Structure formats: C-alpha cells, structure tokens
C-alpha cells in the first residue's frame, strides 16, 4: 500500500525545525507536520517570507504553532546567529526533528558567498552542515529524534572533487556544482548516522529526495533571463510526464522524518520510473556516498571550512 500524508503519526508535542519551508517542497512538508500537530520553527531568508509562510499554514491549520525566523544558509555568520537565537530560546534540548530542506540549483555563473564559497555548495551542503553542528545539542537525545537531509537524484552524477570543491578550477552549474552539493548531502547523512551509531546515540539521521517537482527551484537558480536555458527547456518538456506536485514530492521527506519504519541512515525517494515521481520507497544510494574514507575526509574539510568542530557525543 502506498504511504501517504495520512500515514504520518501524530506529531503532537513535537518541535520541528525545517529550512526552506517558505516555498515548494519544504512548505508542504511543514504544512503536513503542522496538520499532524507539530510546532514548526520556520526560518526563511527574510522575516517577511517566514511570516507569510506561517500565515499560509495557519489558513489551512488554524491552531498551528509556527515560529517564523530568519536564516541565510549561504552566510555562516547568519547560521551562527540563528543557531544562537534558537539555543537561547530553547536552552534545553527540545528539537524532535531537524529537517535540512533548503536548497538552490543550477546558478548559471559561479557565485561566491560572503564567506568566499561557491554558492550551491555553500547553501546546499556547508550551511546545513554548520547548522546541524551548531544545533546538534538542541536535538533531544531520545529515540524518535531525527535529523533529515534532503538530497536529489542528481547525486548520482555528482562526484566529490576535493581539488575543485568550490568549483574554482571549473564550474558546471548542474552536473558539477549542484550534483556535488547533493552528493555531499547524501554522504553527510550516512556519515552522521555512522557517528551517531558509534556513539550509541538514539537520534537517527535519514535522507530523502523528492523526485522532480516544478517549484521555485528551477527558476531561483537559472533565473528568468534566458528562455533557452537547458534546465528550463528540460523542465517544460518533462513536466507533464515525469513530475509530481510539491505536496507529493514532500512525501519522501515526511517518510524519512516520521515513518516508524524508516531506518537509521535510510534514504527515501519516489518509487516510480527512475525515482522521478511516486510514493515513498527506499531510494538508490550512489556508490560514492557509501565510501567511509571520502565521508571522513569531507567531514574534516567541512569542519575546517565552517570553522566548527562537530563531535558527536
Ligand atoms: N524540485 C525538485 O524537483 C527537486 C529535485 C531534487 C531535489 N530537490 C531539493 O528539494 C529541496 C527543496 O527544493 P524546492 O524544489 O522546494 O525549491 P524551492 O521552492 O526553490 O524552495 C527552496 C527553499 O530553499 C530556500 N533557500 C534557498 N537559498 C537559501 C539560503 N541561502 N538560505 C536559506 N534558505 C534558502 C528558499 O528560500 P527563498 O524563497 O528565499 O529562495 C526556499 O524556501 C532543495 O534542497 C532541492 O535541492 C528538489
């Protein structure tokens, strides 16, 4: 039987932090979690965007508890300030779920963040790594607590190129920088679980990919400038056949976040042709994501680049 949003267990009394929930798949993930009783901490790049999303959720779920917040994952000082506010607001470990969903895709020309890192790698991977590291002690050390990382099936064409991590030597927007950042997400989820297991933590790490849904993602990266942009052309051609809407695309994340059957280190995506659309099921993990040596090196490099030690204890 297909797993749907109706199968989400009660989230009453649970506190969720989800990034990128003012739009697309993250919005629908937050909406369903709120519908099932969770309190949602909803950071967006501006407080206006966060408040507007909170209002939209409250229209559908009038008694929803939403805490709008500000976070720019592409700026490590913003990640730090946000994490410090959360830790001040909730001094005791009180997060049940941390969902790293926010992302950007296919920025046509290489851009650098305020920290000097390539924007897709910074937003999709380094920022979430830093956020998870800073907020790890806010996650309740109990069974039922989860850290979820949203990847992409683009991880299959990615490789971690330690000599070109910031695309400083060559920049390819989709198959290079985006795919690398999403492979890094998969590696992060698996390595995080390795470390949680080694330290006997009851917290688990899971990952998910949504298949394909037409959201702001396809325009926020490529921009509106070129009608001949390959991503836009591909999107228009494939849309009727190979995409599902954002509410369905949110289901693998919701499964990874809430299903009692989700396994530590598990990776979930749609069960249809090429995992493009369909109901949540186990997804194919690229071989490079399973290599512990690459994972250990990436972790160490990420600690250096973010300036944050991330011990799991
Ligand atoms: N849609 C797909 O087909 C697809 C396929 C594979 C994987 N994914 C993954 O699914 C996740 C959600 O994507 P989506 O399709 O829902 O796209 P979306 O509608 O563009 O949502 C992306 C969210 O991330 C936020 N974000 C972007 N840069 C940020 C930053 N620097 N700091 C904080 N938040 C930032 C966006 O905020 P703003 O509104 O301010 O831009 C937005 O809320 C992403 O990780 C994406 O890589 C999507």
Q: Does any ligand 1 atom lie closer than 6 A to the CB of residue 277?
A: no
Residue 277 pLDDT more than 70?
A: yes
**Burial classification of residue 282, based on how many CB atoms lie within 10 Å of its CB (0-12 exposed, 13-18 middle, 19 or more buried):** middle
Pairing between strand 267-270 and 280-282? antiparallel
Per domain, the residue ranges of the chain are: 11-305
CB 180 within 8 A of CB 308: no
Between 56 and 234, name the one with better pLDDT: 56
Helix axes 179-198, 292-306, angle to 10 degrees: 100
Quote the ligand 1 centre to 275 CA distance (angstroms).
19
- Identify the pLDDT of residue 48: 98
Strands 39-44 and 15-18 turn out to be parallel
- CA 102 to ligand 1 center in whole angstroms: 4
User: Which entry of 125, 178, 267, 268 is annotated as an active-site residue?
Assistant: 178
DSSP classification of residue 173: I
DSSP state string for 221-285: TT-SS-TT-HHHHHHHHHHHHH---HHHHTHHHHHHHH-TTPPTT-EEEE-SGGGSSSSEEE-PP
**Atom 48 of ligand 1, nearest CA residue:** 210
- Return the exposure string of 225-258: e unless at least 16 CB atoms fall within 10 Å of the residue's CB, then b: eeeebebbeebeeeeeebbbebbbbbbbbbbbbb
Rounded to the nearest angstrom, the distance between the alpha carbon of 127 and the centre of ligand 1 is 13
pLDDT digits (tens, 9 = 90+) for 174-222: 999 999 999 999 999 999 999 999 999 999 999 999 999 999 998 776 6
Phi/psi at 268 (5° precision): -125, 140
Q: 254 CB contacts (<8 Å, ≥6 apart)?
A: 5, 8, 29, 32, 33, 280
| Candidate from 49, 78, 103, 120 with most ligand 1 atoms within 8 A of CB, to mutate | 103
pLDDT in tens, 224-253: 455 666 666 776 776 777 899 999 999 999
Strand partners of residue 149: 100, 207
Q: Does domain 11-305 have CATH number 3.40.50.720?
A: yes
125 a catalytic residue: no
First and final CA of the chain: distance in angstroms? 38
Closest-lying ligand 1 atom to the alpha carbon of residue 243: 3
**The pLDDT of residue 5 is above 80:** yes
Paired tokens of 214: 């037409």
Is the CB of 23 within 6 Å of ligand 1? yes
- The answer to whether the CB of 74 is under 6 A from ligand 1 is yes
94 lines ligand 1 (CB under 6 A): no
Atom of ligand 1 nearest to the CA of 154: 6
Contact 99, 19 (CB under 8 A): yes
Distance 162 CA to ligand 1 centre (A): 25
CA-based diameter of the chain, in Å?
A: 52
Which two tokens mark 177?
């920088």
Q: What is the pLDDT of residue 225?
A: 52
How high does pLDDT run on average in the chain? 95
Q: Does pLDDT of 223 surpass 70?
A: no
Q: Ligand 1, residue 21: give the atom nearest the CA.
A: 43
Q: Look at 29-33, 99-103, 208-212, 230-234 and tell me which has the smallest mean pLDDT.
A: 230-234
């Amino acid at each position: 039987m297909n797993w749907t949003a109706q199968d989400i267990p009660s989230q009453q009394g649970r506190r969720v932090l989800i990034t990128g929930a003012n739009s697309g798949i993250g919005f629908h993930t937050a909406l369903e979690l709120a519908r099932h009783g969770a309190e949602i901490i909803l950071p967006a790049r501006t407080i206006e965007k966060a408040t507007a999303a909170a209002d939209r959720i409250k229209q559908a779920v009038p008694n929803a508890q939403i805490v709008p917040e500000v976070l720019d994952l592409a700026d490590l000082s913003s990640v730090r300030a946000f994490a410090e506010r959360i830790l001040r607001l909730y001094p005791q470990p009180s997060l049940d779920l941390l969902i790293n969903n926010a992302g950007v895709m296919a920025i046509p020309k290489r851009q650098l963040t305020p920290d000097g890192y390539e924007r897709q790698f910074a937003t999709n991977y380094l920022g979430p790594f830093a956020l998870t590291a800073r907020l790890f002690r806010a996650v309740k050390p109990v069974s039922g607590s989860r850290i979820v990382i949203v990847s992409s099936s683009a991880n299959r064409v990615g490789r971690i190129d330690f000599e070109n991590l910031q695309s400083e030597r060559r920049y390819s927007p989709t198959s290079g920088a985006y795919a690398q950042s999403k492979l890094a997400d998969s590696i992060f989820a698996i390595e995080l679980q390795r470390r949680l297991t080694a330290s006997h933590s009851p917290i688990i790490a899971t990952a998910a990919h949504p298949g394909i849904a037409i959201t702001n993602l396809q325009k926020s990266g490529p921009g509106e400038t070129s009608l001949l942009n390959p991503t836009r052309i591909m999107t228009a051609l494939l849309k009727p056949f190979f995409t599902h809407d954002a509410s369905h695309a949110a289901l693998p994340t919701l499964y990874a976040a809430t299903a009692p059957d989700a396994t530590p280190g598990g990776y979930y995506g749609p069960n249809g042709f090429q995992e493009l659309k369909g109901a949540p099921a186990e997804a194919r993990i690229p071989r490079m994501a399973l290599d512990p040596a690459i994972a250990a090196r990436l972790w160490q490099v990420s600690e250096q680049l973010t300036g944050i030690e991330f011990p799991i204890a």
